[in-house]
Structure 1
Amino acid sequence: MALSLLPLLLSGCASLNRHHQALLVLGDLSAGSETSRLKRRTEPPRREGLHYEHQGRAYQADLYHPPTLNRGSLILVHGFTEQGRRDARLVALARTLGRVGFRVMVPELDGLRDYSISTREVTAIVDAIRYATREGAETPSQTAIAAVSFAVGPTLIAAMDEAVAHRVSFVVAVGGYYDMTDMLRYVTTGEDRGGIGRAAPPPQREARWAVLLSQLHWLRDEQDRTLLESIARRRLADPDASVADDVRRLGPSGRALYALVTNQQPDRVEALIGKLPPALVNELEALDPSQRSLDRLQARLVLIHGPQDRVIPISHSRRLRDALPAGQARLFETEALKHVAVSPGWRDGWALWRAVEHVLALGERQQQGLKPHGSPP
């Protein structure tokens, strides 16, 4: 009888330890570069710079080796940041994850670093998955992936790629989008058509200019690119800055993109997208998870989103969860998030703690070679 209870007791101890570690993770993230209980109790991971290639495509990445590998591999995809893989917040997160047993790979993604996101990032994430799961190496045969905000779309599409879908155990998506058209509609007009319409929290004024910067590389006219970049950066620095002179000098493609970004009428969004350069329209469609068959996703999906998100509404994570088979995706709605940053005061920290605990549990199963709960058969 005593022997038969042993596995249950050990399982209970592991669960209690994981609950405690989730609290330590949240405390460490809150502490930033300051000391924390997790920092005092654990050794930091060792960072190694990587250079790797696939079919002539060259990449750089950082690999964080944990003191003890007990949760497997995780690829951390950065969002829009000019610092790329060395963004201080990203480095802090990678170190925190390393302290609790993940081997963390942070690839440098040029399009997310210079605001020129495209399907090139999908290819880069697929190649990172290939590297992290390469056969014959010490790394496990599967990896998890975590992404935030506008990086969630490319990450999901990469995780569905038939060459690597079976190598991804779970995906963590924080504040991500599902429908590209509805995301653009909300950012520019404030209507959340996939959710609660005009009753959604008002979008951040800066978001439209970030979207503009992310699509400039598709314009063939160099003057249009220069003018629109100047407009976007001036409006980011000062929302009321005068840009009328630059707008008058725009060519047809530049005017079409500017018209979309500054439009405030929800019903015009589809028509304005249709007037964009064909290459840009094709890219928007290619980066739209709602336009793809999600049955190619073999990984478990962990969605974390704030109900008051003013960049990408929570309706996107809800729709993404509902688009997958029951049990494959789990959504944690937490007021502790202000888009992808933890809000002051840790309001509703309970939900965020449950999300972290769930990720730690999935990591344990990955390292043990077990199938994550809720994965497709």
Structure 2
Amino acid sequence: MAASLVDMRTRLRLGALLMALSLLPALLSGCASLERHHQALLVLGDLSAGSGESRLKRRSEPPRREGVHYVRQGRAYQADLYHPREPRRGSLLLVHGFTEQGRRDPRLVALAMTLGRVGFTVMVPELEGLRDYSISTREVEAIVDAIRHATGSAPEAPSRTAVAAVSFAVGPALIAAMDEAVANRVSFVVAVGGYYDMTDMLRYVTTGEDRGGAGRAAPPPQREARWAVLLSQLHWLEDEQDRTLLETIARRRLADPEAPVAGEARRLGASGRALYELVTNRDPGRVEALIARLPPSLVRELEALDPSRRALDSLQARLVLIHGPQDRVIPVSHSRRLRDALPPGQARLFEAGALQHVAVSPGWRDGWGLWRALVHVLALGEGE
């Protein structure tokens, strides 16, 4: 244990030294750049601290949170607006991932507060599909409506906004940012731990094979990921008994990976069994055939939420990809492929060892890549 503590201290000191050395160009280029580099350090520290004390919290005022309601073409929504004390980095739409607490998830609130402290006006819409694990193209529509609200509903609203999303929400957010109705209103997109190819994502989650890895081995997937995917697609099954049985199976296995589920599995109908067989499959070569056996409505939705099937030249925004190289939910190869699918210079990828999928590791361990990403996001927020 003593040796591991020494190693940790050494890594932290080395990381701090590298960050300090990187400030030298900023010293030569001007005070604004130096301040941005320093603020990125404060943001990193605040993200690592969570709800605890940090230098950023001590040095800045928290943003004011306001609950708002808005309607678009008969569709009613709720959102939280975080108003910074010093609005200097424009608007940012923050899209939450799978969480039953929605926009009030404590981790999401903490992130919105952090972004507000450094000058972003943050809007966090409530997305029911991500709240109840029923993700669909409905979320794309809701994000498009949120972009419209953020950019044009109030006289003081900016004409453009940034969009940030995490994990499985990256696909809907990216597709929304390409929608012709709002594409010119999105200045940049931040995608943290997101997917690019839906079929390959399902293959990795269920079998562990990462076909987009270009020969580089991916870490083994988290066992829980397959059950989260199952929950996210249950709403497409017409048979109520199948939905109930599969939800029971998924939640039981999330609580205990070894829990018995054979009894429920035997009672499944044809559609429910097709989805169950995809989620429990271990053979990478069977994935396409198992997807083809799913209900047609589910297949259409999977294809509609797949960025690799889209014409990415409709994305006008700049793209910031942040991904942990040891991500065990969605491999980093997805962000690499997404970067390479766009014109040179439109997307930047930061491989951040400090990320455990979308959570920041304690103690800033391997925080170099994440710090560089934060510097870039802060610069984009200032219009650079």
TM bracket (short chain): over 0.9
Separation in 2, partners of 1:167, 1:236: 39
What is the letter of the counterpart of residue 51 of structure 2? Answer: S
Q: 2:69 — aligned with what? A: 51
Separation in 2, partners of 1:268, 1:353: 40
Matched, 1:346 2:364: yes
TM-score (normalizing by structure 2): 0.92
Tell me by how many angstroms 1:143 deviates: 0.1
SS of the aligned residue for 2:382 comes to helix
Matched, 1:228 2:246: yes
Tell me by how many angstroms 1:346 deviates: 2.4
Separation in 2, partners of 1:276, 1:147: 28
Q: 2:11 — aligned with what? A: none
Separation in 2, partners of 1:66, 1:93: 13
Q: 1:37 — aligned with what? A: 55
Residues 308-347 of structure 1 aligned to structure 2 (within 5 Å): 308-347=326-365
Matched, 1:152 2:197: no
SS of the aligned residue for 2:124 comes to strand
Q: 2:209 — aligned with what? A: 191
Separation in 2, partners of 1:31, 1:199: 32
Q: RMSD of the TM alignment (CA)?
A: 1.4
Q: 1:242 — aligned with what? A: 260
SS of the aligned residue for 2:338 comes to helix
Separation in 2, partners of 1:198, 1:234: 33
TM-score (normalizing by structure 1): 0.93
Q: 2:183 — aligned with what? A: 165
Tell me by how many angstroms 1:81 deviates: 0.2
Matched, 1:124 2:142: yes
What is the letter of the counterpart of residue 90 of structure 1? Answer: L
Question: Deviations 1:65-112 (Å, cap 9, x if unpaired)?
Answer: 000110000000000000000000000000000000000000000000
Unpaired runs of 5+ residues, structure 2, are 1-25
What is the letter of the counterpart of residue 149 of structure 1? Answer: S
CA contact (8 A) 1:135 1:141 kept: no
- More displaced 10-residue stretch of structure 1: 69-78 or 8-17: 8-17
CA contact (8 A) 2:183 2:314 kept: yes
Structure 2 residue aligned with 1:296, among 303, 310, 314? 314
Q: 1:375 — aligned with what? A: none
Residues 248-263 of structure 1 aligned to structure 2 (within 5 Å): 248-263=266-281
Structure 2 residue aligned with 1:109, among 122, 127, 131? 127
Residues 2-21 of structure 1 aligned to structure 2 (within 5 Å): 12-21=30-39
Q: 1:176 — aligned with what? A: 194
Question: Deviations 1:132-156 (Å, cap 9, x if unpaired)?
Answer: 0006621210000000000000000
Tell me by how many angstroms 1:199 deviates: 2.5
CA contact (8 A) 2:27 2:34 kept: no
CA contact (8 A) 1:65 1:103 kept: yes
CA contact (8 A) 1:215 1:280 kept: yes
Q: 2:224 — aligned with what? A: 206
Percent sequence identity is: 84
Q: 1:94 — aligned with what? A: 112
Matched, 1:25 2:43: yes
What is the letter of the counterpart of residue 102 of structure 1? Answer: F
What is the letter of the counterpart of residue 257 of structure 2? Answer: P
Question: Deviations 1:317-357 (Å, cap 9, x if unpaired)?
Answer: 00000000000000000111110011234232111111001
Tell me by how many angstroms 1:40 deviates: 1.0
Separation in 1, partners of 2:246, 2:263: 12
Separation in 2, partners of 1:47, 1:274: 45
Tell me by how many angstroms 1:46 deviates: 0.3
Separation in 2, partners of 1:344, 1:350: 14
Tell me by how many angstroms 1:252 deviates: 0.2
SS of the aligned residue for 1:158 comes to helix
CA contact (8 A) 2:45 2:364 kept: no
Tell me by how many angstroms 1:196 deviates: 4.7
SS of the aligned residue for 1:133 comes to helix
Separation in 2, partners of 1:67, 1:22: 18
- More displaced 10-residue stretch of structure 1: 28-37 or 103-112: 28-37
What is the letter of the counterpart of residue 214 of structure 1? Answer: S
Unpaired runs of 5+ residues, structure 1, are 1-7, 366-371, 373-377
Separation in 1, partners of 2:73, 2:292: 34
